[in-house]
Amino acid sequence: MNKSIREHLVSAFPETNNAKEFFHAVRQRYQVFDKFEASNLMSDLASRKYNNSGGVREYILEMVNIQSRLKNLEISLPDSYMVHTSLDSPLDKEVICYFSKKLGHKRRECANFQAWLEMKKLEGNSLALVCFESNLVNVSINSWCLDNGANVHVVI
């Protein structure tokens, strides 16, 4: 076992041929404190925010992983707490203006869109009338056809 461990680490342990004594020395030297690990996990859980780099599913799975590691350390957090902490971080998306195709604002806040609306108001309402005559025999030039959306139209 001593040959599989790097030299600077082996020099800190006693020279022994008994594996049980060697593992006992390693365990005492590199003892993991549950309180320290729990403290790190709790601070990681409290400071974790969604950063738009991955999916929301991965973010929630990381939160559940921390919860299960805390449960192994005999610190149980209710699921309702996990739901509130995971939904606490904002899931911001990049806002795109579909009028000017720029990031950072919506169409209703766009200065170009507001100017376009003002220009349309100044132009007024333009009305386009289309007159189409087909299959009509005796129709005077000054007559109008009233379109009400029906399939058959009557000319007066």
Q: For the segment 120-139, what is each residue's pLDDT rounded down to a tens digit?
A: 887 766 666 665 655 556 66
Cα–Cα nearest to 65, from 80, 51, 86: 86
CA gap 51, 34 in Å, rounded = 29
Region at 124 (left for phi over 0; alpha for psi -120 to 50; beta for the rest) = left
- Pick from 72-76, 78-82, 85-89: least confident: 85-89
For residue 47, what pLDDT band results from cuts at 50, 70 and 90?
Answer: confident
* Cβ atoms of residues 49 and 63 within 8 Å: no
Average pLDDT of the residues in 93-118 = 85
CA 102 to chain centre: 20
For residue 78, what pLDDT band results from cuts at 50, 70 and 90?
Answer: confident
For residue 149, what pLDDT band results from cuts at 50, 70 and 90?
Answer: low
pLDDT of residue 88: 65
* Choice between 98 and 92, residue whose per-residue pLDDT is larger: 98
